[in-house]
Amino acid sequence: MRVANEPLWRQVREKAMQRQALLDSGVSADSPAVVQLGLDSNRLEQQISAAPPRYLVMSVLDSAQKAKLAEFEKELHLAREAVELGLIYDPFLYGEVLCR
């Protein structure tokens, strides 16, 4: 997951360096530019610590893994339809795993 988050970490580092450069040049820590860079950095760090966005997860999968995931998603969709139609019972109500 580190590889997938690297673009976000790069942005965090860039914002931290920009913020520090402003502070080093004598700009007040309360200036809008410095505050905004701090907020942007915090927002990015929260984004990294949250559940990863699908595009980040997908970026680390190779083509074979993406194909397996696509097949699994199709099967999962069919299983959901079968549950909704009452063709099979909802395994989560009974604590069983649907796919084995």
Query: How buried is residue 49: exposed, middle or buried, by Cβ count under 10 Å (0-12/13-18/19+)?
Result: exposed
Q: What is the pTM of this model?
A: 0.50
Q: What is the pLDDT of residues 15-39, one digit of tens each?
A: 999 999 999 999 999 999 999 999 9
Which residue has 């199709």 as its token pair?
Answer: 74
Question: What is the full DSSP assignment across 64-97?
Answer: HHHHHHHHHHHHHHHHHHHHHTTSS--TTTTT--
Q: What is the pLDDT of residues 48-100, one digit of tens each?
A: 887 667 777 888 899 999 999 999 999 989 988 888 888 887 766 665 555 55
Tell me the residue type at 30. D
Whole-number pLDDT of residue 7: 87
Whole-number pLDDT of residue 95: 55
Tokens (6 digits) for 10: 């790069």
Tokens (6 digits) for 98: 């649907």
Whole-number pLDDT of residue 97: 54
